[in-house]
Amino acid sequence: MKILVTGGAGFIGSNFIRHWLSAHPSDQIVNLDKLTYAGHLSSTKDFSDNSNYTFIKGDITNPKLVNEVMNGIDMVAHFAAESHVDRSILHATEFVKTNVLGTMNLLDAALKNKVKRFHHVSTDEVFGALPLDTEEKFNEHTPYNPHSPYSASKAGSDHLVRAYFTTHGLPVTITNCSNNYGPFMDPEKLFPRFITNLLTGKKVPVYGDGKYVRDWLYVKDHCRAIELVLLKGEPGETYCVGGQTKLYNNLEVTMMILKYLGKDESFIEHVADRAGHDRKYAVDWTKINQKLGWKPEHDLDEWLQKTIDWYKENGWWWKPLKKRAESIYKKN
């Protein structure tokens, strides 16, 4: 089998390729990545010499290139996206180009080349936000209500994917996942930003009151979910993927990181809140559990510590990225 992975030099995409090559060593992987701020060849270093792996540097907004790359592909795992909310507030146009137009180019090429399965990786942020005091969770029937340029562009791409199933019969699936964490996560993002700040003796900047709740999903659990959906998911279906039975707010996870690294609350710095900051995300993963037998296997207490250990041991990967990662916040 030959699989096209878009955005495979990014955080989740590179972890997915690593997982797939290990679980399906006879399959071929083609990684199409533009290598923007979120894509790093260093994230693919351990499998770059695999004879069944090919890297192509390219932009999914280029329809000619996308069609050429799609030739001979059996399945697509589409990760490539502009995904950082803070950047979307500053540069919304780039998010619409990549996330909407780029996805449309991929869909057109998949249709033309008769791809057997097109899987689109999306986010729970398309559903908007939940009140802090509710037990409600997002599910596959939750109405879309995006609150940022990032989530609005992902909502647009989700709708396009479904439209190509209904209009053209393209065999598509979608997963809407919660916030991922784990190795090779860009130091712009909350967990690695806080971890690498503390490892270099700096404070951690907490937005507003810090009582923002996220449903943290370990990246390997997410990769397992996508694998199952690609192989066994029903065409045309959407599956929500969450990571926790217990939810934590940002202050709580910050304290977990501080404690594990032997720091106290004096390392917390409260900063001005992000514009349009969603209060709470929570995901009901009942459907993917009942239909495909998936459930998260990595709890936050243990695997956040293992993630911290990974960053402690892999400064070679994140130290060259740290200065650029911090520059985005200075522009806010």
Question: What pairing do the DSSP bridges indicate for beta strands 213-214 and 248-249?
Answer: antiparallel
Residue 149 vs residues 153, 279, 319: alpha-carbon distances, Å: 6, 16, 29
144 is catalytic: no
Measure CA of the first residue to CA of the last residue in the chain; give whole Å. 45
d(CA 142, CA 34): 32
Q: What φ, ψ does residue 94 adopt, rounded to 5°? A: -65, -35
d(CA 25, CA 37): 29
Q: What φ, ψ does residue 152 adopt, rounded to 5°? A: -65, -40
Query: Of 33, 53, 86, 150, which is the active-site residue?
Result: 150
150 is catalytic: yes
d(CA 48, CA 57): 13
Query: Of 33, 82, 124, 227, which is the active-site residue?
Result: 124
Query: Of 82, 86, 125, 186, which is the active-site residue?
Result: 125
329 is catalytic: no
DSSP 27: S
Dihedral sign of CA atoms 169, 146, 242, 285 in order: negative
Extended beta strands in the chain, E state? 2-6, 28-33, 53-57, 75-78, 117-123, 172-177, 180-181, 204-207, 213-214, 217-218, 238-241, 248-249, 268-271
- Residue 133, exposed/middle/buried by CB under 10 A (0-12, 13-18, 19+)? exposed
154 sits in which H/E element: helix 149-168
- State the catalytic residues: 124-125, 150
